[in-house]
Structure 1
Amino acid sequence: MNFDFHTHGKLGKKFDFSADYYLEMATHALQSGINGVALTEHFNTKNFHEVYDTLDAHFPYEDGYYNIQSLKVFPGMEVDIKEVGHILCIGNRQDIRALRAELNDYTKEETFIPLENLLNLRSNYDMLVIGAHPFRESTPLKDLDPSLLKQLDAFDLNGKDLHTRGIEENTMDVQTFAASLSKPVVGGSDTHHFKQFGAVYTVLDQECDTIAELKEAVINRQFHVKVAQDLPERVSEAIRLKAIEKEKLKKLSLEMRFSS
């Protein structure tokens, strides 16, 4: 099972979630050889609840995932923490909704939740919790308290960072860092645009239908990570097209505002 642990469903935080856009994303994920993804949209994105309201209205939910044209979409979110860093929380839809509700008072930069507090909240749910892009200059998880980082389940080898920092350098840094904490490393594209699917992903040894199965596979290291040879081209093209699409949406929003 080819799985992407870090994906987004919007071009950016300020845009609405669109079932049509996400269906396009899912179609291209499948065409890129991806069978399953974690939808880790930013927890403080515009109208976060509408992401799962929309999925509930348009796609069937089976076991622990949404079935979108046979793509398994596991619910999740990417949470900013006070110490500066991003944590991927992946679970069933009830738990993701419940944890997000507990974070209502922590959505602004000056009020982001401390990692320890987030981990305490996570303990109430059966979730897979992953440290995102630990070597990213703007959100360096690597500098945080090791005793807290050891409570995470894994770290991600991130598509965007593999592009900006270099494949060999970033891979070595993340693998060495995770090994020092006795944690596995999974692959996540960090895509906001479908062109980035397949840049880096996780090849699970077995099919997973529930969060419990997914978590067991990660913790027991029943997988390997695949980095595409054309990762730089995939990511750079996704960045280029994302900028064009965002500009189109901004113009359309302005036109609709003035026409009304």
Structure 2
Amino acid sequence: MRIDLHTHVKLAKKTVFSHAYFKEMMAEAGKNGLDAVAMTEHFNTWRYEDIYEVLDRHYPYEHGYYLAEGIKVFPGIEVDIQETGHILIIGDRERILALRQRLEPYTEKGRFINFQSLLDWSEGQGFLRIGAHPFRLSTPLHHLPVELLRRLDAFDLNGKDIYAQGLEAYRAQLDEFAQRLGRPVVGGSDTHQYMQYGCIVNSFDEEAGTAEELRGLIRQGAYQIEVSPCLHAKVKSANVIKALLKKELASEESSGDLRELGEMA
């Protein structure tokens, strides 16, 4: 099973969730050789719950994932923490939605939840918890207490950071950091636009149907990370297209002619 463990299904936080855009994303994920994605949308994206309302209307939820356009879509969330940094949490749909509801008072900058509380709230619920882009210059994790970092299941080798900082140097510091903490590294594209799919992929030796099964395979080391030789082209093109689409949406909004990217029906 080939899976991307850090993906987004909205163009940006302030845009509506579009079923049409989502369908296009999943179709392109399949064309890039993916069997599954973790849908780690930002917890403070506009109308987070719309995502699940639309998916529930259009796709079956099978034990631990949606089957959407031939792709397994594991529910998840990306949470900003008070100390600076982002945590990916992947798990059962109902538990993800319950966690998001509990985080409602903490969605604004300056009021983010502290790291220990987030860990406590997500403990023992079958979640796969990943430290996102630990060495990103704007939102690092490496500065946090070791005893808290060790409660995570893995750390994210992030496609955007490889593009920005270079694979060899970035992976060397991430591998050393993860080994010191006794935790594995997994790959995530961090995509908001489909051109970025396939830039980095986790190839698992077995199928998984729940976040708990994913976590078990990661702990066993039963996977390999594959970094595409086209990573830079993929990330750069996705950035360019995303910027153009955002500019188009902003122009439509300012002219009073904002059209949603897709149907909510």
Q: TM-score, normalised by structure 2?
A: 0.95
Q: Deviations over 1:163-215 (max 9, x none)?
A: 00001111111111101100000000000000000001111110111222111
2:242 aligned partner: 242
1:74 aligned partner: 74
1:127 aligned partner: 127
1:151 aligned partner: 151
2:262 aligned partner: none
% of aligned pairs identical?
A: 45
Question: In the alignment, does 2:90 pair up with 1:90?
Answer: yes
1:161 aligned partner: 161
8 Å CA contact retained: 1:106, 1:112: yes
Query: What SS does the aligned partner of 1:41 have?
Result: strand
| Cα separation, 1, equivalents of 2:107 and 2:137 | 21
Question: In the alignment, does 2:49 pair up with 1:10?
Answer: no
1:52 aligned partner: 52
More off after superposition, 157-166 vs 51-60: 51-60
Query: What SS does the aligned partner of 1:40 have?
Result: strand
Counterpart amino acid of residue 178 in structure 2: A
| Cα separation, 2, equivalents of 1:181 and 1:116 | 17
Larger helix proportion of the pair: 1
2:205 aligned partner: 205
Q: Deviations over 1:96-155 (max 9, x none)?
A: 000101101110111100100000000152100000000001111011101000000000
2:191 aligned partner: 191
Structure 2 runs not aligned, ≥5 long: 260-265
Ranked by relative contact order (alpha carbons within 8 Å, sequence separation 6 or more), the top structure is 2
Query: What SS does the aligned partner of 2:218 have?
Result: helix
Counterpart amino acid of residue 83 in structure 1: E
Change (3 A) 1:102 1:231: same
8 Å CA contact retained: 2:249, 2:258: no
8 Å CA contact retained: 2:252, 2:258: no
Query: What SS does the aligned partner of 2:83 have?
Result: coil
Change (3 A) 1:223 1:253: same
Q: Give runs of aligned pairs for residues 15-30 of structure 1, distance below 5 A.
A: 15-30=15-30
Q: TM-score, normalised by structure 1?
A: 0.97
Query: What SS does the aligned partner of 2:169 have?
Result: helix
8 Å CA contact retained: 1:19, 1:58: no
- Name the Cα RMSD after superposition: 1.3
Counterpart amino acid of residue 172 in structure 1: A
| Cα separation, 2, equivalents of 1:166 and 1:258 | 38
